[in-house]
Amino acid sequence: MLRTLIPGRQDTIIIQGKKRREKSGHPLGNMTQGRRVELMRLLVAEDDLKLLKSLKHIFEKNKYMVDAVSTGTEALAYAETEEYDGMVLDIMMPGLDGIAVLRSVRGQGISTPALFLTAKTEVDQRVEGLDAGADDYLSKPFSTSELLARVRAMLRRKDNYVPDLLRAGELVLNRSTYELSCNGQTQALSGREFQIMEMLLQRPNFIITTDAFMSHVWGWDSEVDVSVVWVHISNLRKKLAALKAPATIRFVRNAGYTLEQET
């Protein structure tokens, strides 16, 4: 039975004003190559509540634990009382800006990797942020695929980083290397091919709408023509054929695309 995935159907709760708590992780952890590892925890600070909600949803869907706050004061309090694997901080926030937050954190000897979200015009702030100890920055507007790629790259610095493999039948998608494998063969994927294939592999036999791909891969305010989805789907079909994978991406008229696996 096919089901259709439509963007915006899942509610997201934004956590604010939290007191210190014990770090527990997901009760089952994240199973990777037969090993049990805890989900990585991110601190996300952004004063645009709509964007904050979207960021939290994106990261949680990609197997991160997220604490989301909307002010620099809250961000600093969280960073001081929790151990995070990474921080995603907006530069311009009320109270304390992201740079002030990071300077205070670094001044306390906390080395948690940090990525700044910036506006295109904030060149001086980007330089100042990197000098304050940021590992990277990402200019708005940005695509989901680039955001996730930069966060993964940032987290590779940590000793407990474990490559994340997504499996569906005989297909294996390596989220660290952007490689799709099957039958002992491997195909390298572009960033957007990776994001599309990840969505399909996460929900085999679901129909995923073109709008869902556009929102997730190109960003909520992208002006890219929807025909680019077909182009990337076509490339993925060729790579599945090269792998001789027992799966195909089928177009469902007036609905979207679905990954069908041969039985």
Reading the block at residue 165, the tokens are 């493999």
Judge whether residue 15 has pLDDT over 60: no
217 and 167 Cβ atoms separated by less than 8 Å: no
Distances (CA, A) of 259 to 2, 176, 239: 10, 22, 14
**Is residue 197 over pLDDT 50?**
yes
Classified as helix, coil or strand, 200 is helix
Lowest mean pLDDT among 147-151, 176-180, 220-224, 226-230: 220-224
CATH code for the structural domain at 165-261: 1.10.10.10
**Amino acid (1-letter code) at residue 41:** R
Q: Quick check: 42 pLDDT over 90?
A: yes
What residues does each domain of the chain span? 41-155, 165-261
pLDDT score for 13? 30
Provide mean pLDDT across the span 222-237.
87
User: Pick the residue with more confidence: 3 or 195?
Assistant: 195
At 261, give phi and psi (nearest 5°): -105, 135
Q: Which residue has the tokens 């995603």?
A: 88
- Alpha carbon separation from 12 to 51, 58, 68, 77, 89 (Å, rounded): 12, 10, 11, 22, 19
**Cα dihedral sign for 152, 71, 23, 25?**
negative
Decide if pLDDT at 53 tops 90: yes
Parallel, antiparallel, or unpaired: how do β-strands 136-140 and 256-261 relate? Answer: unpaired
Which of 22-31, 180-189, 202-211, 234-243 ranks highest by mean pLDDT?
234-243
* pLDDT tops 80 at residue 1: no
| pLDDT attached to residue 8 | 42
| Burial group, residue 129, by CB count within 10 angstroms (0-12, 13-18, 19+) | buried
Which residues lie across from 35 on neighbouring strands? 32
Total residues belonging to the chain: 263
Q: Which two tokens stand for residue 234?
A: 């076509």
Is residue 193 within 8 A of residue 235, CB to CB? The reply is yes
Measured between alpha carbons, how far is 118 from 161 in angstroms, rounded to an integer? 26
pLDDT band of residue 263 (cuts 50, 70, 90) is low
102 backbone dihedrals φ, ψ, rounded to 5°: -65, -40
CB 128 within 8 A of CB 101: no
**The pLDDT of residue 159:** 54
Residue 12 confidence (pLDDT) above 90: no
| Number of Cβ within a 10 Å radius of residue 251 | 12
Question: What confidence tens digit (pLDDT) does each residue in 153-188 have?
Answer: 888 766 554 556 888 889 999 876 788 999 889 999
Within 8 A by CB and 6+ apart from 22, the residues are: none
Average pLDDT of the chain is: 79
Domain 41-155 in CATH: superfamily? Response regulator (3.40.50.2300)
Q: Is the Cβ–Cβ distance between 171 and 181 less than 8 Å?
A: yes
